[in-house]
Every structure is written in C-alpha cells, then in structure tokens.
Amino acid sequence: MSVNFNDTKITFQSKSHWDLQLLKFIFSVLNRPFFVFLGTSIIKWALQFRLPIKGLIKATLFDQFCGGENIQGCKKKINQLKKFNVKTILDYSVEGQENEQSFDQTLEETLRTIQFANQHDAIPFCVIKLTGLGSKSLMTKIQLCKELSLDEQNQFNRFKDRGLEVAAEISKLNQRLLIDAEESWYQNVIDTFTYELMIKYNTERALVYNTYQFYRHDMLDRMKAGFENIIASKAYFGAKMVRGAYTEQERIRSQSLRYPDPIQPNKDYTDRDFNEGVKFIMEHLNYCSICLGTHNEASSKDLVILIQKYGYEKNDPRIFFAQLLGMSDNISFKLSEEGYNVAKYVPYGPLEQIMPYLFRRVEENTSVQGQSSRELMLIEKEIERRKLKL
Ligand SMILES: Cc1cc2nc3c(=O)[nH]c(=O)nc-3n(C[C@H](O)[C@H](O)[C@H](O)COP(=O)(O)OP(=O)(O)OC[C@H]3O[C@@H](n4cnc5c(N)ncnc54)[C@H](O)[C@@H]3O)c2cc1C
C-alpha cells in the first residue's frame, strides 16, 4: 500500500488561515530567484547596519525554519509537532569559530540538548557536527597524513575528548546521537572517530549513527566497509542516509586543486546508490538502525515499501524518517499519521548567529529543483480546499 503525500488536509492540519497566507507569501518569494537575491541582500545589509528588522525576520523566515533562539524557546514548536506525533531533533545551528573557546561552548550546548532530550520523550535523537568540537583545518591536515606539531596533536586530543564526553553522556542517559556528514576533505577523520564511538557505545543497540552522503560516487562501498568493520567488532551499525548537501563546495575545490570530482556524474547515480544503500541496511536490519534524511517523496515511499516487504512494524524503533523543520510537511505529517516514526531537525540559536543557516535554507528552497514550487502548490491547494470546505 502506497502513501499519498498530496493529502493537504493532513499536511496543514496545524495551520490556521493566516498561517497559510503567510506561508504562501514566504514560498512565493522563495520561488522567485530575483526576489530571493534582492531580499537576502537587503537583510544582510540591514543586519550589518543594525536596522530594526529582527522582528520581521523572526515572524517570517525564522519562524518557518527555526525552533527558537535557545532550547527553552523551542518548546512551543516541539509541542506543536508532538501533537501530530512528529518528533524533534534539536539542532544547534550556530556556526562557531575555529577556536578552543567556541569548541568548548558547542560542547556545553550539546550536553544541554542531550539532558533536555532525556527529559522529553518527543526527542528521539541528538545531533552534532563534529567540526563544532574541533578544527576543520586540523582534520584536513590529518586526512592528508601530514605530520602534526605537538600543539596540533594536543588540539586533536582535546577534540576527541569533547567528542567522547558527548558520546558518554548519550550512553549514560540512553539517548541516540546522529553525527552529521560534512565535506569530503576531512570526512575520513569524522568517519574514523565515529566508528570508534560506535564500537565503544553501540554494544546493545545503535546509539551513535554515522551519516552517508550518496552523492559521493564511493559512498556505497564506504558504507558497506563501515558496516563490515562495525559488525566484526560486535557492535550495532547506525546509519543516517542522505544524498549530500555540499555539491557546489566539492566541485569547486576538486576543480581548483585538480583532483577527481568526488561527486556522482549526475543525480540518477546519486538516486541509484541512495536506493541501494537503503535496501542494504533494510536487508541487514538485525544489525542496523536507519534514519532516512530526505525530502524526496519517492525515497520515502520506497522505505515504506521495504518496511512492508520485510514485515517490520511501522513504528519499529530502528527505523526513522527525518525532514527539516519548515520543509516537506506533506511527507512528515502523512507518515506520522500512518504510524511511522518521523522527526524534524529543529534548528535553533540566537537569530543573528543562525542567519547563515537561514540563508542556506533560502538558497536550497530556491535552487533544489521544484522544492519551493512544490511547497507553494500544496499551500495553494489547501487554501482552495478550505474555501470549498471539502
Ligand atoms: C534530516 C536531514 C538531515 C540531513 N543531514 C545531512 C548531513 O548530515 N550531511 C549532508 O551533507 N546533508 C544532510 N542533509 C541534506 C541532504 O543531504 C540533501 O542535501 C537534501 O536533503 C536534499 O536531498 P533530498 O534527498 O531531500 O532531495 P532530492 O531533491 O531528491 O535530492 C537533491 C540532492 O541530490 C543530489 N544531486 C542533485 N543534483 C545532482 C547532480 N547533478 N549530481 C549528483 N547528485 C546530485 C544532491 O545531493 C542534492 O542535494 C540532511 C537532510 C535532512 C532532511
């Protein structure tokens, strides 16, 4: 039985008439690249000159794509989602600086999200980007097998200590941790460290999940090798499956430094490997857990079909669907209504500091083919449905 993601009554059940009008306005703007360019330029300029536009951003973009300025401020969104059985993954989306003080602050904040998750059953996972805890340039150097100075070695040890502290807290409170995937030129370091954590903490079930980006042409093999390594160590394998968010950066860097492009030749290859990867995990679910991070309707339907094919419960705790807050509610709310496990990444942080995240969402909604026009089409359909009282 297939799921119908065009059911706008379910998608927008939590939205009032005015919410829908505001959404229509936001996605109409996002649907026009010229307005987006103009709007983001004005916002950047206004923020630089401290013009009073915080309220406007907060009531529009921030409210659509973010949970709040701090953990407590996210409670309203968490409860709204919970009403419809959609869970929350609190994502501290502030891009800190490359210094020890900032890494320590991110560690403290991450520990706070874990403790908060422990008190709220609507939070099934915590999440972290490991470059919040240690330096990207140092990781890049390590991936290139360059010799480290004593100071750099100490820095790297401090990074690992922070990561271990996060994982120990996850384990102590029996929570689960998603480790985001980042750029390929330091991802090996993230993978290696994540596997250390998996082997140490995934002894009874998957608490620590690594992320696999199938826009990389080597990812399917890398994921299978990771699986073999974890299974051989008698631990459980946790996999967050995504297509990948850094195509542009990957292509620019590989061209400018003249090494082979790590990205697939086209999207069909990405889709093919993504599907293969998901199938592989579902075939080995006795040893794995999966979090499917996608806004792609076909991929979400495919996982539903695999769950049915292998006879798993819809709410099997090893299987989760995840989307970003403010995007693809038609997928999230429909799947949760059908009884599947669904969670939203809910980004939070002080408004000024979260602006880079917001600009990326705006860019993604403008550039990912059909994303905002699809959202807009659904919003207009729901407005029409309510008018006709269907
Ligand atoms: C809950 C969640 C967590 C996420 N976590 C991460 C993370 O940790 N790390 C990360 O990198 N991303 C992450 N993402 C983002 C994700 O990788 C995608 O960028 C985003 O979700 C769009 O892909 P899609 O599957 O939703 O949709 P689709 O629209 O089906 O796919 C778009 C994606 O396809 C790929 N693609 C597009 N054109 C081409 C091309 N010409 N050649 C090859 N590939 C192409 C790109 O990856 C692009 O982002 C996450 C997304 C979600 C929803």
Give the SS3 label for residue 31.
Answer: coil
Please give the pLDDT value at position 369. Answer: 58
pLDDT by residue for the chain (390 residues), tens only, comes to: 679 999 999 999 989 999 999 999 988 888 888 877 888 888 888 878 788 888 888 888 899 899 999 999 999 999 999 999 999 999 999 887 899 999 999 999 999 999 999 999 999 999 999 999 999 999 999 999 999 999 999 999 999 999 999 999 999 999 999 999 999 999 999 999 999 999 999 999 999 999 999 999 999 999 999 999 999 999 999 999 999 999 999 999 999 999 999 999 999 999 999 999 999 999 999 999 999 999 999 999 999 999 999 999 999 999 999 999 999 999 999 999 999 999 999 999 999 888 888 888 887 777 655 677 888 999 999 999 999 877
Substitution site in 243, 363, 374 for ligand 1 pocket (most atoms within 8 Å of beta carbon): 243
Which of 41, 65, 40, 137 is closest to 97 using CA atoms?
A: 137
Q: Residue 209 sits in which domain range?
A: 68-350
> Looking at the domain assignment, is residue 305 inside a domain?
yes
Cβ of residue 215 lying under 6 Å from some atom of ligand 1: yes
- Compute the radius of gyration of the chain from its Cα atoms: 21
Nearest Cα to 131, choosing from 163, 153, 101, 108? 163
Report pLDDT for 266: 96
User: What is the torsional sign of CA 155, 353, 169, 180?
Assistant: negative
Q: Is residue 144 part of a domain?
A: yes
Q: Decide if 60 is inside a domain.
A: no
Whether residue 16 is contained in a domain is answered as no
The reply to whether ligand 1 has any atom less than 6 angstroms from the CB of 169 is no
Tell me the pTM. 0.95
Inter-residue contact 214 to 241 (CB < 8 Å)? yes
Residue nearest to atom 45 of ligand 1 (CA): 267
- CA 148 / ligand 1 centre spacing (Å): 34
Give residue 16 CA to ligand 1 midpoint distance, Å. Answer: 30
**Which tokens is 138 given?**
């140092």
**What is the SS3 assignment for 114?**
helix
Q: What residues contact residue 185 under an 8 Å CB cut-off, 6+ apart? A: 140, 143, 253
Question: How far is ligand 1, taken at its centre, from the CA of residue 238, in Å?
Answer: 19
Check pocket membership of 345 for ligand 1, CB cut-off 6 A: yes
Is 109 contained in some domain?
Answer: yes
- Closest residue by Cα to atom 42, ligand 1, is 266
User: Could you tell me if residue 42 is inside a domain?
Assistant: no
Paired residues of 320 in beta bridges:
291
Atom index in ligand 1 nearest the CA of residue 265 equals 42
Question: What is the CATH number for 192?
Answer: 3.20.20.220
Q: Would you say the CB of residue 189 lies under 6 angstroms from ligand 1?
A: no
CA dist 16 and 267 (Å) reads 37
Per DSSP, the three-state class of 115 is helix
| 361 falls within a domain | no
Q: Is residue 10 part of a domain?
A: no
Tally of domains in the chain: 1
Task: Output the CA 133–ligand 1 centroid distance in Å.
Answer: 24
